[in-house]
């Protein structure tokens, strides 16, 4: 399973890259709105230079002609860019056109396996079910991931399920067990995945014990 970071914060991305776990990044307009002093394009290019993998940059146009224009422009920013498009009829039509032109699309705001099937059939390379937001609506977000993975596998659809809107470490494990080839994580979830209280206690004890045996020869000398 490949892990992406779901953020537009360059320091978080640099840190995840240093940890050796980062295969890609997803951004969206809400994540970008948290950043200041830099244009969307500049930030996306900056991210692409840190990450050796797909970087999703979202389009906001709502009319087909505008969306095609915006998507083609965004796709020129960097070879790592994947154009993110929300699913609706305009989004599907744009995906059909753009995928034929060889532009990689991440179809976003997926809330059902039906939407996932349509996105994959229209030619999206990545399909992003929003697990946490589905859970928030009282349904089982991971079930959409499971169903989408099973459908893509059964019919050899080349699209990859990108489990998104993950809120905690158990979501990541559940997405992995559901067979999602990619999970995109908020930085806080990545940090939580690293931590375990028993690891902290274990490190503390090993360090204390190492110090005590390193101090031993000095004590022995003192006693002789």
Residues that bind ligand E4P (CB under 6 A): 6, 26, 28, 108, 128, 130, 132-133, 164-165, 184
Q: What tokens does 147 get? A: 């169903």
Q: Where are the beta strands (DSSP E) in the chain?
A: 2-6, 24-26, 55-58, 81-86, 105-110, 126-129, 160-163, 182-185
Min. distance of Cβ 153 from ligand E4P in angstroms?
A: 22
Residues with Cβ < 8 Å from 33, sequence gap 6 or more? none
Closer to ligand E4P by CB, 7 or 199: give it.
7
Q: Is 84 a catalytic residue?
A: yes
Closer to ligand E4P by CB, 80 or 155: give it.
80
Tell me if 19 sits within 8 A of 178, measured CB to CB: no
Q: What tokens does 33 get? A: 């709105």
Angle made by CA atoms 137, 150, 187, in degrees to the nearest 5: 55
Closer to ligand E4P by CB, 34 or 221: give it.
34
Closer to ligand E4P by CB, 128 or 148: give it.
128
Which 8-state DSSP code applies to residue 39?
-
Min. distance of Cβ 119 from ligand E4P in angstroms?
A: 13
Q: Catalytic pick from 34, 69, 84, 195?
A: 84
State how far the Cα of 4 lies from the Cα of 189, in Å rounded to an integer: 11
Indicate which residues carry an active-site annotation: 84
């Amino acid at each position: 399973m490949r892990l992406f970071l779901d953020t537009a914060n360059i320091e978080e991305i640099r840190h995840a890259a240093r940890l050796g776990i980062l295969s890609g990044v997803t951004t969206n307009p809400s994540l970008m709105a948290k950043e200041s002093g830099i244009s969307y394009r500049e930030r996306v290019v900056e991210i692409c230079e840190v990450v050796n993998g797909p970087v999703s940059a979202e389009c906001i146009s709502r009319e087909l002609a505008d969306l095609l224009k915006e998507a083609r422009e965004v796709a020129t920013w960097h070879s790592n860019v994947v154009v993110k498009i929300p699913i609706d009829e305009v989004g599907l039509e744009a995906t059909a056109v753009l995928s034929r032109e060889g532009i990689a699309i991440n179809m976003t705001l997926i809330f059902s396996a039906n939407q996932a099937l349509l996105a994959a059939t229209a030619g999206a390379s990545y399909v992003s079910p929003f697990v946490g937001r589905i859970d928030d609506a009282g349904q089982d977000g991971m079930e959409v991931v499971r169903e989408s993975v099973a459908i893509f596998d059964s019919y050899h659809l080349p699209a990859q399920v990108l489990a998104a809107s993950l809120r905690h470490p158990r979501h990541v494990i559940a997405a992995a067990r559901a067979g999602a080839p990619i999970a995109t994580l908020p930085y806080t979830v990545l940090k939580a995945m690293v931590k375990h209280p028993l690891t902290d206690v274990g490190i503390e004890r090993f360090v204390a014990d190492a110090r005590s045996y390193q101090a031993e020869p000095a004590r022995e000398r003192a006693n002789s």
